Amino acid sequence: MRVKLIAYTVVDESEIDNELGFMRNNWEVKEPDHLAETAGRLCYLSFNRPNPKTRENKDYLNNVINQGHESVLAHASATFIIKGVSRSLTHERIRSRFLSFSEVSQRYVNVQNTEIVTPPAMKNEGLGLEGSYLTQTTRDAYEDITSNLVSRGYSRKQAREAARAVMPNAMETKIMVSGNLRAWRDFIKQRLAPGADAEIQELAYLVLMNLEMYAPNTFQDIAHLINDYEERTNR
Of 87, 160, 185, 191, the catalytic one is 191
> For the chain, what's the residue count?
235
Backbone angles phi, psi at 103, to 5 degrees: -135, 155
DSSP single-letter state for residue 93: G
CA–CA distance, 106 with 144 (Å, rounded to integer): 16
Do 196 and 95 meet the contact criterion of CB atoms below 8 Å apart?
no
CA separation (Å) from 115 to 38, 72, 105, 139, 170? 45, 41, 15, 11, 9
Q: Does the active-site annotation cover 160?
A: no
Q: Please, what is the end-to-end C-alpha distance for the chain in angstroms?
A: 14
Q: Just list the catalytic residues.
A: 191
